[in-house]
Chain A
Amino acid sequence: MAKPTDLVQGTLDLLILKTISIEPKHGWGIAKRIQQISEETLQIQQGSLYPALHRLEQQAWIKAEWRTTEAGRMAKFYSLTNAGRKQLGKELASWNRLSTAINLVVQEV
């Protein structure tokens, strides 16, 4: 199981921002979504997910509100702010740069 420390530094922020850019999600939903999309490769631990969410909220990149889930329970839903959308763009760009660079190195024959 990939621990968050195995993730490249700062990647978790990118994953979270990207995941909630489509629609607001609660913490559990974010973790599940990342797990599904990554075909079970990325398992986000609660112990890193929630502190990251609180940090991003504190940065005013995401905002939280309490809403009812489909099952009728109250949960804290996170969505992107405008600043967060800009930040996502920045992080995506830098991720692309980084992954391209790493690919160049590891694929060199």
Chain B
Amino acid sequence: MRALDKIRLRARSLFRRGNVERELDAELRFHLDELIEENIASGMPADEARWTALRAIGGITLFQEECRDMRKMNFIDGLWRDLRHAARVLRRGPGFTALAAVTLALGIGATTAIFSVVYGVLLKPLPFAEPERLVGLYHRGPGVNLPVMNQGPATYFIYHDNQQAFEGIGAWDRTDVSITGRGEPERVEALAVTDGTLPLLRVQPILGRRFSEEDAALGSPLRVILTHGYWQRAFGGARDILGQRLEIDGAPADVVGVLPASFRFLRADPAILVPLRLDRANANFVSFGFQALARLKPGVTLDAANADVARMIPIVEQVPGHIALRLEPNVRPLAQDVIGDIGRILWILLGTVGLVLLIACANVANLFLVRAEGRQQELAVRAALGASRGRIARELLAESLMLGLAGGVLGLLFARAGIGLLRALAPATLPRVAEIGIDPVVLLFALGISVLTGLLFGVIPVLRLRTTRSRTDRWRRGQDRAAPDRTTARPRRPCQWEQPARP
């Protein structure tokens, strides 16, 4: 109730400014009139009564201002005024402004571009439901000196039959196939999956169905699922695609489904999906030829999953040849299948451009300091006219924030160009390139670092303001513009460390 009242009052102060101001005026006028009447009643002539009252009341504007302060009006009002003032000051020095903005834009642009890569490749969740529960099933094989070993028929069937930690296990493999029988023969990338894989990923075809257990059985007729891209490219998105026939590596295959356009599979970019057919009768030897993924049961941790695999490894070791591998479990987040080893490099890259941004900040801070030096007189006059230090500090900060934001906007343009270039030049080893771009998160990041840089280089002149000895002293000195004394020269020094490092 009280909170609601407060909001209503704030809103009134903000949006019904005219009314509030008139009321404030009328209220104080009433007080003044009462005071005059009291004076007259005590026997003063009208004129004198008036003057005495005015003297007693003192600076009306001053406490009108205080009343506004109490209504928190000055904050918003002041913010607006500061921003306009800042824009004016920045316009007055177009050379300085352009130089500072471009310097910042380069830093912010580079950082944003690299961040968009880090975000798109590393941080963006996998495009599956509840991706944090998806894991890649791997082994370590110290017996043969392999840090990462995948799966084979023996391990797959044993885990499939005995596991307790997972909702299910799906095997997959990438292969290249030839498609014939429809005009030009074509070589495309195919993804072979067991019937459990798509359900685990929660992928639902937009047309038709997923692979059934029967599709995955050896000797059953070959079936195929098309990805959205291939369906569009090869069939023009025809709705009557189900039941049509392709020849895959010479074998006829019926189309049973089409996947949604949003389907992405780790680092693969398949045109078609075919069943991965494994022969249970022929799983009696050492072979590691395909990958497996799994979905953790709710509440099961990675450690528990690894423990579950460790429990099953003795069963695997009963299969001839496996004991020498000294298998160890290596269940890891599925995202790692996508990212691989690129993660560390990207973080280092982000750190590096972060440093470049810091250097840009330091340079702009220096520019600011030099300019602030030239403005000492202006600031001193304003202080002498009654502007508080906080007020001047706010104006300086508004300037740097505005410059930071201008740098940010310009930086986004740089970043966009940079991202285009990065995507064109991206090495084949960089996964998820299609995910890189300027999306809301990247925009938010750019805004964040713009504000942060604005504060960072803006706070230095403000700190200097505090070291100013006395305003009048400075004002007097401002008049004869003598050489700066030690106090003015000193605080600039901390920013000189970066000069040799300038690229």
Q: Give the B-binding residues of A (Cβ under 8 A).
A: 26-28, 45-48, 50-52, 54-55, 57-60, 63, 66, 73-76, 81-83
Contact = CB atoms under 8 A, between A and B. Distances in A.
A74 B26 contact: yes
A50 B28 contact: yes
B288 interface: no
Contact of A46 (B5, B9, B57, B69): B57
Given A55-B70, A58-B6, A50 B27 contact: yes
B384 to A, nearest CB: 22
B30 A76 contact: yes
Interface in B14-58: 23, 26-28, 30-31, 33-35, 57-58
B9 A60 contact: yes
Contacts of A63: 5
Given A46-B63, A58-B6, A73 B30 contact: yes
B72 A58 contact: yes
B270 to A, nearest CB: 64
Nearest to A52: B70
Contacts of B35: 28
A58 B30 contact: no
A46 B59 CA distance: 10
Contacts of B57: 46-47
B481 to A, nearest CB: 39
A28 B28 CA distance: 9
A46 B71 CA distance: 17
Contacts of B63: 46-48, 50-51
Nearest to B66: A51
Main secondary structure of the interface of A (DSSP, over half): helix
5 contacts: A47-B57, A55-B70, A74-B30, A75-B27, A81-B5
A50 B67 contact: yes
B483 interface: no
A54 B27 CA distance: 11
A50 B29 CA distance: 12
Contact of A60 (B5, B13, B26): B5
Interface of B: 1-2, 5-6, 9-10, 13, 23, 26-28, 30-31, 33-35, 57-59, 62-63, 66-67, 69-72
With a 10 A CB-CB cut-off, give which of B9, B10, B27, B66 has the most chain A CB atoms.
Answer: B27
Given A28-B31, A46-B57, A51 B2 contact: no
Contacts of B6: 58-60
Given A47-B63, A47-B66, A54 B71 contact: yes
A47 B62 contact: yes
B13 to A, nearest CB: 8
Contacts of A54: 67, 70-71
A50 B69 CA distance: 11
Contacts of B30: 26-28, 73-76
Given A50-B28, A51-B67, A58-B13, 15 more contacts: A28-B31, A45-B58, A47-B66, A50-B63, A50-B67, A51-B63, A52-B70, A54-B67, A57-B9, A58-B6, A58-B9, A59-B6, A60-B9, A76-B26, A81-B5
A55 B63 CA distance: 13
Residue of A48, A52, A58, A66 with most chain B CB atoms under a 10 A cut-off? A58
A28 B9 contact: no
B377 to A, nearest CB: 32
Contacts of B26: 74, 76
Contacts of A45: 58
A95 B167 CA distance: 66
The 5 lowest CB-CB distance pairs between A and B, nearest first, are A60-B5, A51-B66, A54-B70, A55-B70, A28-B34
A91 to B, nearest CB: 16
Contacts of B9: 57-58, 60
Contacts of A81: 2, 5
Pick the most buried of B35, B58, B66: most chain A CB atoms within 10 A of its CB. B66
A66 B20 CA distance: 12
B31 A46 contact: yes
Contacts of A75: 27, 30
A55 B13 CA distance: 12
Given A51-B63, A83-B2, A76 B70 contact: no
Contacts of A83: 1-2, 5
Nearest to B35: A28
A83 to B, nearest CB: 5
B469 to A, nearest CB: 27
Contact of A76 (B1, B27, B33): B27
Nearest to B57: A46
A35 to B, nearest CB: 11
A82 to B, nearest CB: 8
Contacts of A51: 63, 66-67, 69-70
